[in-house]
Amino acid sequence: MLGVIGGTGLDRIPGLSIQRQEQVSTPFGTPSAPLAFGERGGELFVFLPRHGADHHIPPHKINFRANIWALKECGVKKVIGVAAVGGLSPNMHPGSIVIPDQIIDYSYGREHTFFDGDFQPVDHIEFGNPYCEQLRGELIDAATLADVEIISEACYGVTQGPRLETSAEIKRMLRDGADLVGMTGMPEAALAKEAGICYACCAVVANWAAGLDAEPITMEAIERQLSTSMESVCKILMRMDMR
């Protein structure tokens, strides 16, 4: 079964009707919202809004462990994390849809592993390729079917938030090799891998990262951009194999 974790600008998937909601409890607490189960062509899918049903949970307060655990418990084998991000590389402009293949994690102080001694014996997961290549391929194929242009390689730099970055931080991230900046890509990707879930990210560039545009970043401009770009993301999701 396919799971979709919706980010800012995606709190439901238009065109996919929800048949049942379930509040799941996990050893790590409750997920961001009840899991919403829907169906397409006889196949079940699950949707979970990362920031809560009313978008009240800031990035550093998201219970990533409960979210991933709950999806796993419900039988989800593959998860697409949709994320609003800022663009750093010149070709990753507002409106670009990007399927990243690498991550640099600048976040801190988050509950970032299931292997913390209390719950399971430690396992050091392999994380050289942080995303599931097969699911990235399925996303890329779905984008082709949906006739949506995407960029299929990028490095996603994950910052702590909730504030946006300084211009100097963005310059450093560019030197590091980051193409995108967002606040929720980690520990989500690592926890999914620890849980044995196939995970890929569909990132939507909402704005130029700090200092790269003459205008300061505003939430209004981000929301405006996302309201159009998420339509393309939904077109891609509608073409995904739900199994």
**Residues of this chain that bind ligand HPA (CB under 6 A):** 84-86, 159, 164-165, 181-183, 206-207, 209, 217, 222
| Inter-residue contact 176 to 66 (CB < 8 Å) | no
DSSP string, 229-243: HHHHHHHHHHTS---
48, 35 Cβ separation under 8 angstroms: yes
The residue of the chain with the least Cβ separation from ligand HPA equals 86
Nearer Cβ to ligand HPA, position 2 or 209? 209
Compare residues 19 and 167 and give the one whose CB is closer to ligand HPA: 167
Minimum distance of ligand HPA from residue 85's CB (angstroms): 5
CB 18 → ligand HPA: shortest distance, Å? 26
The nearest distance, CB 202 to ligand HPA, in angstroms, is 14
Residue (143 or 222) nearer to ligand HPA, CB: 222
Amino acid identity for residue 98 in this structure: V
Residue of 86, 76, 25 lying closest to 46 (CA atoms): 76
- Closest contact distance (angstroms) between CB of 25 and ligand HPA is 29
**Least distance to ligand HPA, CB of residue 7, Å:** 8
- Rounded to a whole number of angstroms, the minimum distance from the CB of residue 6 to ligand HPA is 14
Residue 207 C-beta: closest distance to ligand HPA, Å: 5
**Cβ closest to ligand HPA, residue 34 vs residue 161:** 161
**CB-wise, 48 or 84, nearer to ligand HPA?**
84
Q: Of the two residues 31 and 182, which places its CB atom closer to ligand HPA in the complex?
A: 182
CB closer to ligand HPA out of 13 and 82: 82
Q: What radius of gyration, in Å, describes the C-alpha atoms of the chain?
A: 17
